[in-house]
Structure 1
Amino acid sequence: MRLLLMSDTHLPRRAAELPGPLLAELPRADVVFHAGDWVDTATLDLLRERSSRLVGVYGNNDGPDLRARLPEVARAEIGGLRFGAVHETGPAAGREARCAARFPDLDVLVFGHSHIPWDTTAEGGLRLLNPGSPTDRRRQPHCTYMTATVADGRLTDVVLHRLPPR
């Protein structure tokens, strides 16, 4: 199963639309994750319409309309792995231990908020993935998103994709 991971799209504040290379990945993905800070409901509607399966959560910049349609924490079993998504995980220092304690029942946690790509594994095996932002690089050199594969109960081929400057 092919996964597409994104977060912090902040549309239309940071960009008018999702980048073309990211949109081109949608039909190839079996599951799309969005780890919050959508800002507009149009992006949620677009991803629901174009995705085979969408796992999404709201973020700190998402208003009542999005909060009414999305959970703060989402969970999904995919190919034998237990996934979770949440927007905020707190400061980078201590993140692995904090998330492992908060989510002992997960194999993979997709998160956002910082706009900083992250890929680590906590003691005990929880994989933490932050795809960055496809529309607002902040202090990062590139806007980014991730893809990954789930096969035989394992997460493989985790790739951070850099988007061309707008």
Structure 2
Amino acid sequence: MTRDGIRLLLMSDTHVPTRTRDLPPQLWDEVARADLVVHAGDWTQLALLDRLAERSRSLLGCWGNNDGPDVRARLPEVARADVEGVRVAVVHETGPRQRREERMRVAHPDADLLVFGHSHIPWDTAHAGLRLLNPGSPTDRRRQPHCTYVTARLADGAVEDVVLHRLPARPGAGASVKGR
């Protein structure tokens, strides 16, 4: 923690090793700078959870639909923490985008910030006092132009300095090809 609040690193849908062997080096650099790493599921490998827990100052995460029983045994379906006066909830799936904000406000009435994944599509909206952030995926861009992650800062009960970061393209990384 710094005088200026808590620096967050948000990621989801890393799919190690099914989509890539490891996280991009830029993301590991961000892990070293973050006060709290938040992962919204689809780790797909317990080893990545162990490495992030070892290399981060603090880790908050949940399991996703592609995570097996080993990851699910270590992580909750919904992770929660109070950080710098911000009530944070982390969940993998939120359902369809239509009316997402309203549904999540009802599903997580005690949260100020909901971090989610599953779609691999970055998302940043607010509704009735709930900020919803999806960092996309740093390893599998699917239909998105870039692989992504998010940094933010929590201070004095507020979510500030939210930045969506694009990762440099790697040949063949995360590209979805029709017909495969």
Length-normalised TM-score, structure 2: 0.91
Report how far residue 94 of structure 1 moved.
0.8
Q: Which of 119, 142, 146 matches 2:146? A: 142
Give the partner amino acid of 2:38: F
Percentage of matched positions with identical amino acids = 67
Report how far residue 151 of structure 1 moved.
1.6
Secondary structure of residue in 2 paired with 1:100: helix
Are 2:111 and 1:125 aligned? Answer: no
For residues 110 and 151 of structure 1, the distance between their equivalents in structure 2, rounded to whole angstroms, comes to 17
Give ranges in structure 2 of 5+ residues lacking alignment.
1-5, 171-180
Alignment partner, residue 64 of structure 2: 59
Count of aligned pairs:
165
For residues 95 and 25 of structure 2, the distance between their equivalents in structure 1, rounded to whole angstroms, comes to 31
Alignment partner, residue 75 of structure 1: 80
For residues 67 and 76 of structure 2, the distance between their equivalents in structure 1, rounded to whole angstroms, comes to 11
Report how far residue 4 of structure 1 moved.
0.2
Secondary structure of residue in 2 paired with 1:101: helix
Secondary structure of residue in 2 paired with 1:47: helix
Q: Which of 90, 106, 111 matches 1:106? A: 111
Of residues 151-160 and 94-103 in structure 1, the stretch that sits farther from structure 2 once superposed is 151-160
Report how far residue 11 of structure 1 moved.
0.5
For residues 139 and 158 of structure 1, the distance between their equivalents in structure 2, rounded to whole angstroms, comes to 22
Secondary structure of residue in 1 paired with 2:73: helix
- 1:27-66 per-residue CA deviation (whole Å, 9 max, x = no partner) reads 1111100000000011100100011110000000000100
Report how far residue 153 of structure 1 moved.
1.7
Give ranges in structure 1 of 5+ residues lacking alignment.
none
Length-normalised TM-score, structure 1: 0.98
Please tell me whether Structure 1 or Structure 2 has the larger radius of gyration of its CA atoms.
2
- 1:62-112 per-residue CA deviation (whole Å, 9 max, x = no partner) reads 001001111000000000110000000000001000000000100000000
Q: How large is the RMSD of aligned CA atoms in angstroms?
A: 0.5
Superposition misfits of 4+ residues, deviation over 6 angstroms: none
Q: How does 1:7-26 map to 2 (within 5 A)?
A: 7-26=12-31
Report how far residue 119 of structure 1 moved.
0.2
- 1:103-128 per-residue CA deviation (whole Å, 9 max, x = no partner) reads 01000000000000000001x11000
